[in-house]
Amino acid sequence: MLMKRPALYERTKDLFWNDPYTATQMLKAHLDPNTDAASRKPEFIQRCADWILSLPLPEHARLLDIGCGPGLYAKRFTERGLRVTGMDFSERSIAYAKEHDPCSEYVLGDYLAMEYDSAFDAVTLIYCDYGALIPGERKELLRRVHRALKPGGLFLFDVNTPRHLDARKPKKAIGVNRKGGFWSPYAHICLHAGYLYGESVAADRYAVLDRRGLRRYNLWETGFTQQSLLGEATPAGFAPVDFYTDMTGVPYADDSETICAVLRKDERVPT
């Protein structure tokens, strides 16, 4: 029963980013320059920042980086003249960002509950976070981003494509960690199962048992095409500007495992 296949887009009550120990492990992963586990490697981050800064934004544009983590992108944007606000719900990541980047504004909060109104020239959501949301969350995010943008403002984000899911197969595994690990500082057992839902949705289900008790996490991943992205973004009031292979501005290719979308706020649609 612990690893029963979850219903499509079923959420679990446990949130690992609220666990103090796991949040610390996530921050370590963000800051590790040798892995793409939480943030992309520094060279990619720099190319991404350079490309975004090359876009036709107003001088001293205001940019909101949601899901900013420890500020690896926001700091680069600010250093190049943008007025940047970073938002993340990880207390440890925001604390790190504030300590290492006093020139940007950092806000501890959930971007699904943000209340900005026509405040930003651009909003970024980087490293495929959009596809980790379930449909109702994506709809709410689009509504709030649309409201946060100034007329004609840009929303830039990346997603995985169904091709990225091609290599995934249903699986089940058990790990025994006697000295602690990513999920717990204590000896623990971690059960992990992977499930597929058609060609464009996958879930990883984890059950972690240690001396504190049992915690379960469902982590969702949705792959998108240009058409399916627009199917969600257009009704929310966005018009396409262009699509790219990734957030460094590489031209779009049909066989890419990721898509970067650049959308513009449609002023005709109410927020």
Q: Which two tokens stand for residue 35?
A: 């892995």
Residue 2 scores a pLDDT above 80: no
In 3D space, the residue among 253, 246, 224, 226 whose CA is nearest the CA of residue 238 turns out to be 226
DSSP 1-39: -TTPPPPTTPPPS--GGGSHHHHHHHHHHHH-TT--SSS
Helices then strands, each counted (H, E), the chain: 7, 11
Q: What is the pLDDT of residues 42-64, one digit of tens each?
A: 999 999 999 999 999 999 999 99
- CA distances to 15, 58, 154 from 55, rounded to whole Å, are 36, 9, 10
Averaged pLDDT score across all residues of the chain: 94
CB atoms within 10 A of CB 269: 13
Greatest C-alpha distance within the chain: 58
> Tokens 């001088």 — which residue?
59
**CA distance to 20, 24, 95, 178, per residue, from 215 (Å):** 14, 17, 26, 17
Q: Is the pLDDT of residue 156 over 90?
A: yes
| Whole-number Å distance between alpha carbons of 231 and 103 | 38
pTM over 0.85: yes
Lowest mean pLDDT among 24-33, 124-133, 151-160, 216-225: 24-33
Q: Domain 39-161+224-265, what fold? A: Rossmann fold (3.40.50)
What pLDDT score was predicted for residue 63? Answer: 98
